[in-house]
Amino acid sequence: MVRAPLPAESDPNTLACELAWQELRASPLFGPMIRGRLYPHSNVSLTLVAEPIPGIARVTMDGRITASRARRLDAEEWRWVLAHCLLHLGFDHLDPAVEHDAAFRAAACVAVTRFQRAVKLGREPDPLPQLLPVTEEAALAARWRREGVPDGFAGPPDLDPTPVRFRPGAEPSWPERFASGLSAAAMAGVPDIPRPGRRHPEELVRKHTFGVVVDTSGSMGRQLMGRALGAIASYATARDVPAARVVFCDAAAYDAGYLPVDGIAGRVRVRGRGGTRLQPAIDLLERADDFPREGPILVITDGECDVLRIRRPHAYLVPRGARLPFTPRGEVFSLR
């Protein structure tokens, strides 16, 4: 007996959700998390349920996303919701060492929303306020525990921190996979990335570049450096940057010139010579004839450095819990 074919899914809401998921699955940014063939452990999965749940979707630390069809969204809104869950994993917001209270959940959503708005990942079905805090998640959560979560930021929980027992060595490293996706997305988003030795047209450089000062002293370990390089790709992706102006620095500055973001990793050498003085690298960038006056600077350091004076837009990338030996004027972002 020949079975009749199953009827195709006709619910527009379900079709919109499935379309959004397939687009994210095929994207270079999230591909390593959803279809990571190079990783021996589980990938992120999506389950649609008919019954309502708090919010629209929630995600667990082992990568299970549960979304409710009770909320009617279009494909762009589903894309936002599902990417939001994926970014929580990529940003390590389900770290079991973190206190997952209402203040942290709200701060984590702010961090993810900042990124999504920067790279235009879907459309917010329930928008947060237009002006978002720029404080790092842990510091923002601590402040909101003291002062209360402001109106407009206290949404339903989308993080499910229920403990998951993994076999030894089988823990999925979502931040590592996300860093791989960031590098791939940076390459895919800029079809003509300049290679070392190629001439960079001045108009391209002036419109699409930033400076990177990388602390290569001995206190910067390989693992920390790898996460930092993933962050460079993130910064580049959000700004459609073809190449960055890079200076490596420990006791002296080493000018690497313009490098495609995927080529920076191959040039890093942790030298460990003497102390760490990053101001010469800052001065080099600010005085360079081939670096635009308005070009922002990203400083990557473990915090064991000199007092820095930077006269243009800038930000710092430091390990979680590290402190700079001065009061920074630019934004400070944390790496775990």
Domain assignment present for 174: no
* Cα–Cα nearest to 102, from 51, 152, 148: 148
pLDDT tens-digit readout, 170-202: 777 888 788 777 756 655 543 333 333 333 334
Domain boundary (118, 141, 160) is at 160
Full residue range of the structural domain in which residue 65 is found: 12-160
Domain assignment present for 218: yes
> How many CB atoms are closer than 10 A to CB 331?
14
The share of the chain scoring above pLDDT 70, in percent, equals 75
Domain assignment present for 1: no
Same domain, 204 and 148: no
- Which residue in this structure is represented by tokens 């420990």? 250
| CATH number of domain containing 195 | 3.40.50.410
* Amino acid code (one letter) for 3: R
Q: What pTM did the predictor assign?
A: 0.59
Domain assignment present for 172: no
pLDDT tens-digit readout, 64-86: 999 999 999 999 999 999 999 99
When the pLDDT of each residue in the chain is averaged and rounded to a whole number, the result is 79
Query: Cα(127)–Cα(303) distance, rounded to whole angstroms?
Result: 35
Query: Cα(186)–Cα(239) distance, rounded to whole angstroms?
Result: 10
Same domain, 154 and 198: no
Count of domains for the chain: 2
Domain assignment present for 7: no
Same domain, 198 and 150: no
Same domain, 230 and 268: yes
Q: Using alpha carbons only, how large is the chain's radius of gyration in Å? A: 21
**Rounded to whole angstroms, what are the CA distances from 134 to 131, 330, 332?**
9, 10, 9
The end-to-end CA distance of the chain, in Å, is: 59
What pLDDT is attached to residue 80? 97
Same domain, 156 and 194: no
Same domain, 117 and 225: no
Query: Cα(53)–Cα(73) distance, rounded to whole angstroms?
Result: 15
pLDDT tens-digit readout, 91-110: 889 988 899 999 999 999 99
Query: Cα(24)–Cα(31) distance, rounded to whole angstroms?
Result: 7
Domain assignment present for 45: yes
- Of 14-28, 202-216, 222-236, which one has max mean pLDDT? 14-28
Same domain, 114 and 206: no
Token pair recorded at residue 329: 């004027």
Same domain, 146 and 269: no
Domain boundary (144, 160, 176) is at 160
Same domain, 100 and 206: no
Domain assignment present for 185: no
Domain assignment present for 183: no
Same domain, 29 and 136: yes
Residues 159-166, mean pLDDT to the nearest whole number: 89
Q: Helix, strand, coil shares of the chain as percentages rounded to 5? A: 35, 15, 50
31 neighbors 38 (Cβ within 8 angstroms): no
- Which residue in this structure is represented by tokens 């687009």? 23
Residues 30-35, mean pLDDT to the nearest whole number: 87
Same domain, 215 and 259: yes
Domain boundary (142, 160, 178) is at 160
Query: Cα(134)–Cα(315) distance, rounded to whole angstroms?
Result: 11
Same domain, 81 and 216: no
Query: Residue 129 in 3-state DSSP?
Result: coil
